[in-house]
Amino acid sequence: MGITTLYTGNPSPREVMTEIERQSLRVVLADVVYPARRWEIIIAADMYGADGQTRQRLRRLPLRDRPFRNLQDIVTALDAVRPAHA
């Protein structure tokens, strides 16, 4: 099954990468109990054995007073801090 079968229409490469990243994060963070603090998310990824790129991405999560509510909350925060060249 090719990547294009995961989508309807004609997705841009950026949309495809976001979905692949989201799927990867879903697997890596499957054992996280929400709500979760930034440090708990990073530790969970380290304990899972996430690759360096995923760990680096999660370390870019912003420090904030409230915990992350769910995976979508994490994805939204990561999209907000994503480097412009990605």
pTM: 0.75
As given in the structure block, the two tokens for residue 5 are 């079968």
Residue 19, token pair as written in the block: 């979905």
- CA–CA gap between residue 19 and residue 36 (Å, rounded): 22
* % of the chain beyond a pLDDT of 70: 74
Question: Alpha helix (H) ranges present in 1-86?
Answer: 13-28, 38-48, 52-59, 71-81
**Mean per-residue pLDDT for 32-39?**
98
Helix, strand, coil percentages (3-state) for the chain, rounded to 5, are: 60, 0, 40
Whole-angstrom Cα distance, residue 82 to residue 76? 10
44-77 pLDDT, tens per residue?
A: 999 999 999 999 999 999 999 999 999 999 998 9
